[in-house]
Structure 1
Amino acid sequence: MDLNLHNKVVLVTGGTKGIGRAIAEAFVNEGARVFVCARGEETLAEMDRKQGITTVQADLTSEDERNKVIDEVLKQAGKIDILVNNVGGSNGSTVSETELSLFREAFELNYFSAVHFSKLALREMKQQQSGSIINISSIFGRESGGKPTYNSAKAAMISFTKALADEAIKEGVRVNGVAPGSILHPTGNWQKRLDENPEKIQAFIEHEIPAGRFGTVEEVANAVLFLASEKASWVVGATLNVDGGQSNANF
């Protein structure tokens, strides 16, 4: 299926490993011009050697650095067609044992970065009267599981996705989200847990994931490509579970 993404200018935050990297590479395979931003110099340098990908180093918890990223994309490409807010991470433990500062850090990385990048991209997309913003959240933004700092930020992201979508569609810009379940990749927590205790993780899969396996980063990337394309022209404000049936939510 031709998704008509050739020559689209795409920005993927946190795009050097895991889900973000798969998303960036999937867009390149569709002929898009892709920018990725992240903090780590080594992974950025390795990505920068890939044809079709331009890297921008930035601390995405910093408002000034986020401005710098958008300015660099516009300087080099002159526009932005697709924004994928992928950067994220978890910290802390239980609510009672987690310092308030860690909640703030989690929101700055997972939530406020997406809000800020969306506002910056929307400003440009409004002028074009077209564009797509896709927020990578989590099934645990809808239900309990995992660390409270992360889950709270992802819940806020899902709510933000719908609020911005209803506003932006009037300007020809579609906003949607993808909520992955448990995804296995070499740099992720599930791979570490699998290496440490294969029997425990296999039991988790059998009990928690109806499809009977972990998801792949490519499967998440495929959902993002669809939502970014005009094939999803009537999908507005949705956050799509990509989880092999793992989520317990019925909405």
Structure 2
Amino acid sequence: MELGLNGKVVLVTGGSKGIGKAIAKAFYDEGAKVAITARNKKELEQCQDEMETIFTYAGDMKDEAARKELVDVVLDKWGTIDILINNVGGSNGSTVAETELNLFRDAMELNFFSTVDLSRLVLPVMKERKNGAIINITSISGRESGSKPTYNAAKAAAISFTKAMADEAIKDGIRVNGVAPGSILHPTSVWQTRVEADPEAMNQFVQEKIPAGRFGTAEEVANVVLFLASDKASWVVGATINVDGGQSKSNF
């Protein structure tokens, strides 16, 4: 299927590894102009080696000034941003009782406020062109509290924000949607660490918790992102799509 993504300017946060890198590579293979950001310069350099024309920016997306500079440098380079993928995220803390309040703040800054701020920053250029796509990578844990409380809360907020912004932005031709991955196995994932530590327990987890009978791959998430970013998904607005092999217990 021709998705019409050739030449599109795509910004992917947290794009140097895992799901973010798979998304960046998928757009790159479609002929898009891809910019990625991450904190680790060595990982960014490796991405540059693998995808020669990719643009990289080293910065912490918890930093408001870095978010603004990121958007500015991409606009300076290519003049526009057609597609924004808010992928950066991470988990911290433990139980509610044992997690300091500042860790909840950190989780919201990274997983939620970066999504809100970057989405707002790209709005003017997308409004001017009356076209654009924003895709927020959330989690099935944002719907049913399957991970650490800090992460659950931040991803739940991002899912709600996705719908709120979608209803507002579609009037200007901008589609906002989300993708909620389940347990995705890739070299830098927590699941890979757990598989290496206790393969028997992880095999039991997969058989009991994932109806499809295996972990998902980062490329399977990326494929859904590509579709949502394309005009083939022109009537998909405000949705957050589970990519989880049936793992989620949510039925709405």
Task: Give TM class, smaller chain.
Answer: over 0.9
Q: Can you give the 5+ residue segments of structure 2 that lack an aligned partner in the other structure?
A: none
Cα distance, 1:19 vs. partner? Answer: 0.1
Cα distance, 1:99 vs. partner? Answer: 0.1
Is residue 232 from structure 1 mapped to residue 233 from structure 2 by the alignment? yes
Q: Secondary structure at the match of 1:222?
A: helix
Is residue 10 from structure 1 mapped to residue 14 from structure 2 by the alignment? no
CA offsets per residue over residues 148-177 of structure 1, 9 Å max, x none? Answer: 000100000000000000000000000000
TM-score by length of 2: 0.99
Is residue 46 from structure 1 mapped to residue 38 from structure 2 by the alignment? no
CA offsets per residue over residues 96-138 of structure 1, 9 Å max, x none? Answer: 0000000000000000000000000112100010000000000
Q: Which amino acid aligns with 2:138?
A: S
Runs of 4+ that moved beyond 6 A: none
Q: What does residue 78 of structure 1 align with?
A: 79
Q: Counterparts of 1:48 and 1:240 in 2: how far apart (Å)?
A: 30
CA offsets per residue over residues 161-215 of structure 1, 9 Å max, x none? Answer: 0000000000000000000000000011000000000010000000000000000
Q: What does residue 103 of structure 1 align with?
A: 104
8 Å CA contact 1:32–1:52 kept in 2: the answer is no
Q: What does residue 187 of structure 1 align with?
A: 188
Q: What does residue 173 of structure 2 align with?
A: 172
**Where in structure 2 are the equivalents of 1:104-119 lying within 5 Å?**
104-119=105-120
Q: What does residue 146 of structure 1 align with?
A: 147
Q: Secondary structure at the match of 1:231?
A: helix
Q: Secondary structure at the match of 2:187?
A: coil
8 Å CA contact 1:162–1:238 kept in 2: the answer is yes
Cα distance, 1:89 vs. partner? Answer: 0.1
Q: Counterparts of 1:210 and 1:59 in 2: how far apart (Å)?
A: 36
Q: Secondary structure at the match of 1:204?
A: helix
Q: Counterparts of 1:124 and 1:93 in 2: how far apart (Å)?
A: 40
Is residue 127 from structure 1 mapped to residue 128 from structure 2 by the alignment? yes
Q: Counterparts of 2:33 and 2:121 in 1: how far apart (Å)?
A: 19
Q: What does residue 64 of structure 1 align with?
A: 65
Q: Counterparts of 1:39 and 1:161 in 2: how far apart (Å)?
A: 25
8 Å CA contact 1:161–1:175 kept in 2: the answer is yes
CA offsets per residue over residues 218-250 of structure 1, 9 Å max, x none? Answer: 000000000000000000000000000000000
Q: Which amino acid aligns with 1:35?
A: A
Q: Secondary structure at the match of 1:142?
A: helix
Q: Which amino acid aligns with 1:125?
A: M
Q: Counterparts of 1:72 and 1:166 in 2: how far apart (Å)?
A: 28
8 Å CA contact 1:83–1:118 kept in 2: the answer is yes
Q: Counterparts of 2:187 and 2:230 in 1: how far apart (Å)?
A: 28
Q: What does residue 30 of structure 1 align with?
A: 30
Q: What does residue 209 of structure 2 align with?
A: 208
8 Å CA contact 1:137–1:157 kept in 2: the answer is yes
Q: Can you give the 5+ residue segments of structure 1 that lack an aligned partner in the other structure?
A: none
Cα distance, 1:83 vs. partner? Answer: 0.1
Q: Counterparts of 1:57 and 1:195 in 2: how far apart (Å)?
A: 30
Q: Which amino acid aligns with 1:18?
A: G
Cα distance, 1:46 vs. partner? Answer: 1.1
8 Å CA contact 1:12–1:35 kept in 2: the answer is yes
Q: Counterparts of 2:77 and 2:146 in 1: how far apart (Å)?
A: 41
Q: Percent identity?
A: 64
RMSD, matched Cα: 0.5
Q: Counterparts of 1:46 and 1:123 in 2: how far apart (Å)?
A: 32
